[in-house]
Amino acid sequence: MMRLVRMFYPCHAWVEAHIRMVEMTGVLMRIFSFSLVSWLGPESPFFFVWAFNTTDAVMLSWCAWIKKDAAYTLLNVFWVGVGIVGMLRASGFGH
């Protein structure tokens, strides 16, 4: 476990130093992904949307964890799970 922590420390330090930018980027990514689905409807590139949304959920979870915001961390970790299921469904896995 400590090896994993050491491996991600440079990323963690960077996110801590740039947390406002990372958080705003994640929020804009979420707005973009849901706007894309709203505009394109059934023609949306659903796998891309779910992958993009899952990436922003990871970013926002990380920021919330750094800020020690339990509710926001839980919400975004939930979205990571929803995104993984969405990507599996969009790729046809399980059909």
pLDDT, tens only, 12-64? 899 999 999 999 999 999 999 999 999 998 898 989 999 999 999 999 999 99
At 5, list the tokens. 């922590």
Widest distance between CA atoms in the chain: 45
Residue ranges making up the domain that contains 11: 2-90
Q: Is residue 24 part of a domain?
A: yes
What confidence category does residue 5 fall into, taking pLDDT thresholds of 50, 70 and 90?
A: low
> pTM surpassing 0.85?
yes
The answer to whether position 95 is within a domain reads: no
User: What count of other Cβ atoms lies within 10 Å of the Cβ of residue 57?
Assistant: 23
pLDDT at 8: 82
The verdict on residue 11 lying in a domain is yes
- What letter would DSSP give residue 43? G
How many other C-beta atoms can be found within 10 angstroms of the C-beta atom of residue 79? 19
Q: How many domains does the chain have?
A: 1
* Residue 22 covered by a domain: yes
Rg of the chain over Cα atoms, rounded to whole angstroms, equals 15
* Confidence (pLDDT) at 93: 79
Does 27 map to a domain? yes
**d(C-alpha 70, C-alpha 77), whole Å:** 10
Q: Which two tokens stand for residue 7?
A: 């491996």
